């Protein structure tokens, strides 16, 4: 494991933001989101970053011009992205397809990619340079659904930074959109996978009825508060840091899996370890309930599939497991692993439907955040595969953790050529120090059981 340090910042010269509209006329209509899309927990913008090196075959090509034109062409097919969100009865969200466009920014950096150093590695201290927050653009309703900034570097490489309204797409859905843009940048006239709206497939039943237990939506006093309003730490003390775990190191973590859980996935064992390290780091009341929340995607979960090919909305639900802080910290990793495995594999059609029904019955509630931790696995979403003509991305995917609440697992290759997983973490500064220490102990094969250090004797195969 290694944390990724920040280097000196660099400056970016930006032109005035512009509204980029579809290249051809598109329908003016209202498109309701699904009852999974429009829950309170997804009403935020999420930043993404794609970094590309210079490619000899693109020597005379301008990435700004190519991507701007490709986006305009792609918006003819994905025209809801050029619209604006409205809110109807019972807080129901819908897109008014107005063709007003997305925000686009052209920019130039004063350095090469190599000179940027660690500033172009997670947690990206340069993000504000690469993704300008256009004043008045970051509200959920009545604002552009997508903000794009393309920044050229002196070496011929470039960064494509995006900010997308999460209610409209999840990671696989947005990668589908970006892949369509990339295909058109490479000369195609239409995306190979045509977009499908059909958000009704994830709507509540009539009448709605909650038939499963959904601890992730346990009621709180004010379920419309923002995440930051309920963080029990001073915001000035919150720090971003990223941890790189080599693929070879996963075998060390797997040693903590007891014999009856040897079939666990890399996601499950890594998530169990993160949950334990984070709980120890935060030092909560021993009796406080801690929630581990997994994202279960329905795209390939069922046969036949619930979602049609080309669906680009949110196709996942949250699955939660709960234990006290004392249980997590005082038991071996196998305790947390068993709970994580159950949450990660427990989604059924009825569970999915029950979530949509709960959204309607309870007015699209906020996820319960106190004591909660979300781990989102985007290793297989395909961000890094998106090719605008310059080859695969050096980095592709989310750039930062959501403060206190959520982390991402992102595929990453460091400068030594070592492949692994980068994990952005956001915690109070002292908790971050404790987290790093605990995670390092686990990667050295040491775990804390009932207050004592112990080395695991369970060894199973790695990847």
Positions marked active-site: 166, 387
> Is the distance from CB of 149 to CB of 133 less than 8 angstroms?
no
DSSP letters of 101-116? -EEEEEEEESS-TTTT
**Measured CA angle at 118 (ends 112, 122), to 5 deg:** 120
**Burial call 167-193: b when 16+ CB within 10 Å, e when fewer:** bbbbbbbbbbbbbbbbbbbeeeeebeb
Q: Helices 63-77 and 171-185 meet at what angle, rounded to 10?
A: 120
Tokens of 323: 């234990």
How far is the C-alpha of 194 from the C-alpha of 309, rounded, in Å? 8
> Is the distance from CB of 88 to CB of 94 less than 8 angstroms?
yes
200 three-state secondary structure:
helix
Residue with token string 């569970």: 351
How far, in whole angstroms, is CA 164 from its chain's centroid? Answer: 11
> Is the distance from CB of 47 to CB of 163 less than 8 angstroms?
yes
> Is the distance from CB of 382 to CB of 172 less than 8 angstroms?
yes
CA proximity to 83, closest of 94, 67, 68, 70: 94
CA proximity to 407, closest of 375, 378, 367: 375
């Amino acid at each position: 494991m290694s944390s990724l340090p920040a280097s000196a910042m660099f400056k970016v010269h930006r032109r005035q933001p512009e509204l980029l509209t579809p290249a051809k006329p598109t329908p003016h209509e209202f498109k309701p989101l699904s009852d999974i899309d429009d829950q309170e927990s997804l009403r935020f913008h999420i930043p993404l970053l794609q970094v590309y090196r210079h490619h000899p075959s693109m020597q005379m090509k301008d990435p700004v011009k190519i991507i701007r034109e490709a986006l305009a062409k792609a918006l003819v097919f994905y025209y809801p992205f050029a619209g604006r969100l409205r809110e109807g009865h019972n807080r129901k969200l819908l897109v008014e397809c107005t063709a007003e466009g997305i925000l686009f920014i052209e920019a130039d950096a004063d350095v090469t990619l190599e000179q940027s150093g660690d500033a172009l590695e997670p947690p990206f201290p340069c993000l504000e340079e690469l993704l300008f927050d256009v004043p008045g653009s970051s509200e959920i309703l009545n604002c552009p659904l997508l903000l794009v900034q393309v920044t050229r570097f002196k070496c011929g490489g470039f960064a494509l930074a995006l900010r997308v309204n999460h209610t409209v797409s999840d990671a696989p859905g947005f990668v589908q959109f970006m892949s369509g843009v990339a295909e058109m940048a490479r000369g195609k006239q239409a995306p190979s996978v045509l977009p499908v709206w059909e958000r009704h497939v994830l709507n509540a039943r009539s009448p709605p009825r909650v038939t499963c237990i959904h601890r992730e939506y346990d009621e709180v006093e004010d379920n419309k508060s923002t995440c930051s309003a309920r963080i029990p730490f001073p915001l000035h003390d919150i720090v971003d840091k990223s941890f790189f775990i080599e693929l070879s190191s996963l075998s060390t973590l797997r040693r903590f899996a007891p014999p009856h859980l040897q079939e666990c996935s890399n996601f499950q064992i890594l998530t169990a370890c993160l949950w334990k390290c984070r709980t120890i780091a935060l030092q909560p009341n021993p009796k406080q309930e801690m929630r581990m929340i997994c994202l279960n995607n329905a795209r390939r979960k069922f046969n036949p599939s619930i979602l049609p090919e080309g669906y680009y909305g949110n196709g996942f639900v949250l699955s939660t497991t709960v234990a006290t802080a004392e249980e997590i910290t005082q038991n071996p990793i196998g305790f947390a692993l068993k709970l994580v495995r159950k949450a990660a594999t427990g989604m059924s059609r009825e569970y999915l439907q029950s979530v949509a029904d709960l959204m309607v019955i309870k007015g699209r509630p906020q996820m319960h955040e106190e004591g909660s931790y979300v781990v989102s696995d985007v290793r297989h979403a395909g961000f890094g595969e998106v090719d605008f003509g310059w080859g695969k991305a050096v980095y592709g995917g989310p750039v930062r953790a959501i403060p206190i609440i959520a982390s991402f697992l992102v595929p990453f290759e460091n400068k030594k050529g070592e492949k692994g997983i980068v994990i952005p973490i956001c915690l109070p500064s002292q908790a971050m120090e404790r987290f790093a220490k605990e995670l390092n102990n686990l990667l050295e094969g040491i775990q804390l059981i009932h207050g004592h250090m112990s080395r695991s004797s369970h060894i199973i195969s790695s990847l």
